[in-house]
Amino acid sequence: MVRSRDDKATHGQLRRHNRELMLRAVYNGVADNRAALAQETGLAKPTVSELIGELIDDGLLVEEGHGPSTEGGGKRPRLLKFVPTARHIIGISLSEERVFGALSVLDGRIVAQHYVDLSEAPDDTIVVNALLDVINGLMAQLDAPLLCIGIGTPGIVDSRTGIVSYIADWGWRDVPLAQLIRVNFNVPVYVASRTELAAMGQYVFGAVNGADSLATVLVGRGVGVGLVINSAPYHGGGDIGHLRMAARADTNTVEEDRLEIFLGWQVVKQRIYALRRAYPGSILPGENDPLSYLHLRYAAANGDRAALALQDELSRYLAQVFAWIIGLLRPDHISLAGPIANFGQPLLDQAVQYTQHFVLPDLVQRVTFSLTEAESSLLVAVGAVAQGLRRELGMV
């Protein structure tokens, strides 16, 4: 019987799937020897032995020591151990201010970082050159084969093709970013939105236990939401800063405006200066001084009325975002990330309280919430690493 190309493709896909099953089982500690893998996966023992041999030859698994013998006193099984240092992955975060890269081993540990700051108004050539510089800087530190490169980018992205459809600030339209990088470095390249990868990083490597579905709300210069639904990334998420809010928290009038106008950092800074003038004696920095959410955190903790007023405003806006997510998706967990997370736990707690004004309180109480104070570029880069693990090895 002559097999068609489809038959061969199906056979190859099945073989890859079975390899991923076994690698994932060893990585997660579900099984640590061939017999246990056969029982766990339902595959025949000869098939398991053949595929395990391939994984050992590839350096992804090693045999190390012996397990206990069976109750019948049989031969003690050789134990299998995952080798996280067998490959490296490069994760990249593109943002308006910086190209940041992280070199990781296969368990998510970061072994090197490199970044290039961008000018105030970079064009596409500047951004691409900075991206190539960061990748080359990390490539110079490889001490194992490079498995793949993952890239998180702002704008509108087709993660299936790796094409960046649109980034207004850089003048990008239909840029084949994955192909461009793949040609330069000859490894698989995966491109997705920053918010999607932030959610993946939180899901795979964050301190979120038992959540099959989660949302990461990323707030900095813009506002975005990344989603993991039923343990898989949702590829349609991203920037929501263009969505319209129904009312301002600091007025009694109804005014439609973009969400980014209320939560974007450039506007928040102007609001801080206005509140500082409205509340004489505020300890918040002046207009010519450095300013960050950490200053707000300190001031609010010390009872500064301007900082507390802004905390109340921001928590109301965040509550509406949380309510949209809960009303539509019913996630297990929502994390607040990006620079705004440096405002601290009181901001999140107040936002959760206000969320119950916008959606049924019972629904809110079924969701757990957390702050992710890790720098957002690192979170996105770690998510790009998680994406590479998922796409190349099926491990997460």
Q: Output the CA–CA distances (angstroms, integers) from residue 173 to 132, 157, 180, 223, in the order listed.
A: 19, 10, 14, 21
Alpha helices in 279-332 (DSSP H): 293-301, 305-329
Contact 352, 365 (CB under 8 A): no
pLDDT per position in the chain (396 positions), as tens? 344 444 555 877 888 888 888 898 888 888 888 888 888 888 888 988 899 999 999 999 998 877 676 666 567 888 899 999 999 999 999 988 899 999 999 999 999 999 999 887 677 788 889 999 999 999 999 999 999 999 999 888 888 899 998 887 788 899 999 999 999 999 999 999 999 999 999 988 877 777 889 999 999 888 999 999 998 888 866 778 778 776 555 544 444 578 888 899 999 999 999 999 999 999 999 888 999 999 999 999 999 999 999 999 999 999 999 999 999 999 999 999 999 999 999 999 999 999 999 999 999 999 999 998 888 899 999 999 999 999 999 887
Q: 241: how many CB neighbours lie within 10 A of its CB?
A: 17
Alpha carbon distance, N-terminus to C-terminus of the chain: 37
Contact 394, 20 (CB under 8 A): yes
In terms of CATH architecture, what is 87-208+378-393? 2-Layer Sandwich (3.30)
Q: Please report which helix (H) or strand (E) contains residue 103, including its range.
A: strand 98-104
Contact 161, 103 (CB under 8 A): no
Q: What pLDDT sits at residue 258? A: 81
Locate 85 and state its tokens.
Answer: 């240092």
In degrees, rounded to 5, the angle at the alpha carbon of residue 91 between the alpha carbons of residues 236 and 16 is: 75
- Matching CATH topology for 87-208+378-393 and 214-373? yes
Phi, psi of 157 (to 5 degrees): -130, 140
In whole angstroms, give the CA distance from residue 218 to residue 336: 6
Q: Output the CA–CA distances (angstroms, integers) from residue 311 to 106, 246, 268, in the order listed.
A: 39, 19, 11
Q: Half-sphere exposure of 22 toward its Cβ, with a 13 Å CA cutoff? A: 30
Output the pTM of the full model: 0.86
Q: What pLDDT sits at residue 5? A: 42
User: 5-82, what's its fold?
Assistant: Arc Repressor Mutant, subunit A (1.10.10)
User: 214-373, what's its fold?
Assistant: Nucleotidyltransferase; domain 5 (3.30.420)
> Domain boundaries in the chain?
5-82, 87-208+378-393, 214-373
In whole angstroms, give the CA distance from residue 316 to residue 321: 9
